[in-house]
Structure 1
Amino acid sequence: MKQLRILLSIFACLLLLGSCKKDEEYVYPNVISTFIDVSTDSSGTVEKLITDKKETLQILNQEGLDGLTPDSIYRTVSIYEPKEIDTQGNATALLYSCQLIISVKPVTVDKLPNGTAKTDPLNIQSVWQSGDYINLILLPMAKDKSHIFHFMEEGITDDEDGKRTLHLTLYHDQNGDYEAFTRKSYLSVPLWAYEGRLTSGDRIILRIHTYEKGFVNYEFTY
């Protein structure tokens, strides 16, 4: 698989809806809404879902899922319905919604736009660790301009207990936008990028600038 494609804006890649039925007749499917990876085949069509537990599901409805980079993995927020095992023994799923999200390797400040650290404040809905990622649902105040997000790597320190700590800070540039309303934003820190640099039991501290509390720290174990 090629390196995870860098995306600095959030956009929907598809929305598949079933045929309309009367409310009293419709049975809602047993769907799952989650952060999940999707992989593309050699033609650039999304073909599989990959959960954070490394479980793979073949997508049954691939129409309209093309136009992406071939043989790549994308981080998404998706809604899908697990289906039966196919004749080849593969787990399958129907994909109802798939939104590509920001999931970029952290970089040092000198590699950011203008080599400047931007930490404009925002609100936080949730931050949690899952699989090879730290996931974030953020609530920046916005109006009509695109905000820029990234993750700043601020070094790895050696701790007294023999472990190491990776220090990260959220990069957020409001881009001169007015603070008119809340705009939900989805991000994931790819911890797989630190294979060989961190070992099991090392720590990650993620620092985020908020309106209410100033800078807050979230700590995780690698």
Structure 2
Amino acid sequence: MRHLIIYIVAIMAFFCSCEQDSYDKGEGTYSNMTADFVEAHVNSEKKIDYAITDNGDSLVISTPIEVSWTKTADSTYRAILYYNKMANNTAKIMGLSQMNQLRVTSRDSIKVMKTDPIGLESSWASNSKRYINFAFTLKVGTVNENSALHRITLVADSITLHKSLNTLHMTLFHDKGDIPEYYTEKYYFSLPVSIFNTVGADSVNIRINTSSDGFKTIGYNLRE
């Protein structure tokens, strides 16, 4: 096993505020609404004009919209899109939330390693193979997610070679700080697979201190 030196900017993933329309349940305007994880494209006017879902479907936004977190023109943002699908792959936006993205940093850049327990509801690779997605549950002090100050990122520990497969081993860094644990809320995170091209990783193992089962390791083969 050799120590990994990884040149990726260390970014702590903080919780982002969401811009999402409220909606009713049952029959009516929102009864046929679909929710998908997407890459939302921002045009030259900083408006979202189309989106690519994790299933690879391309959706043209019927009325392009601008939200506060689309700062860069001609770029893409990871988001959760709530929409009604119309004819010719057109989508009417009913709600839109920016999605948290996990980043990777080297162990050397972490002064004090924190692995506070975190609720791991599920994890899965997108059908497009571009992302590994996570559903985490966290204890927060109020129902207002803007008050949440958890710090979450991935720390690269080492890389191993076995049967021509390079595996990157990582640990989830989680610092819950002094947040009172009054409520449990769910948050979705995405890990862009493209960042592993930097180190030539063919698979990843992620070690997580879960609230229910203690430390567990989940793995994904990036070749499949």
TM-score range, shorter chain: 0.7 to 0.9
- 1:212 is matched with 212
Higher strand share: 2
Deviations 1:80-127 (A, max 9, x none): 222211xxxxx3211211111211431113445xx3322111212111
**Could you tell me which residue of structure 2 aligns to residue 76 of structure 1?**
79
Structure 2: distance between partners of 1:100 and 1:145 = 16
Which string of whole-angstrom CA distances, capped at 9 and with x for unpartnered residues, describes residues 25-70 of structure 1?
x365433212221111122211111112433211112244466221
Conserved 8 A contact 1:45-1:67: no
Tell me, yes or no, if structure 1 residue 93 matches structure 2 residue 96.
Answer: no
Label 1:63 to 1:37 Cα distance change in 2 as closer, same or farther (>3 A). closer
Identify if the C-alpha distance between structure 1 residues 73 and 116 changes in structure 2 by more than 3 Å, giving closer, same or farther: farther
Q: Which amino acid aligns with 1:162?
A: S
TM-score in terms of structure 1 length: 0.80
Which piece of structure 1 moves more, 187-196 or 132-141?
Answer: 187-196
State, as a whole percentage, how many aligned pairs show the same letter: 25
**Is 1:121–2:117 an aligned residue pair?**
yes
Q: Is the CA contact (8 Å cut-off) linking 1:44 and 1:66 kept in structure 2?
A: no
3-state SS in 2 of match to 1:184? strand
Q: Distance in 2 between matches of 1:39 and 1:16?
A: 23
For 1:16 and 1:64, how far apart are their aligned partners in 2?
17
Match of 2:195, SS state, is helix
SS state of the match for residue 94, structure 2?
strand
Q: Does the aligned pair in 1 maintain the 2:51–2:59 contact within 8 Å?
A: yes
Give ranges in structure 1 of 5+ residues lacking alignment. 86-90
Amino acid at match of 1:122: I
Q: Assess, with a 3 A threshold, how the Cα gap between structure 1 residues 67 and 177 changes in structure 2: closer, same or farther.
A: closer
**Structural mapping, 1:51-200, within 5 Å:** 51-65=53-67, 68=70, 69-85=72-88, 91-112=89-110, 115-130=111-126, 131-143=129-141, 144-159=147-162, 161-195=163-197, 197-198=199-200
Off by >4 Å, runs of 4+ in structure 1: none
CA RMSD of aligned residues (A): 2.5
Distance 1:32 1:198, change over 3 A: farther
SS at match of 2:104: coil
**What is the CA distance between 1:197 and its match in structure 2?**
3.5
CA distance in 2: counterparts of 1:212 and 1:14, whole angstroms: 31
AA paired with 1:98?
L
Correspondence list, 1:11-26, <5 A: 11-15=17-21, 26=28
d(CA) in 1 for partners of 2:167, 2:121? 25
- Match runs of 1:3-42 below 5 Å: 8-15=14-21, 26=28, 28-42=30-44
Distance in 2 separating the partners of 1:70 and 1:212: 42
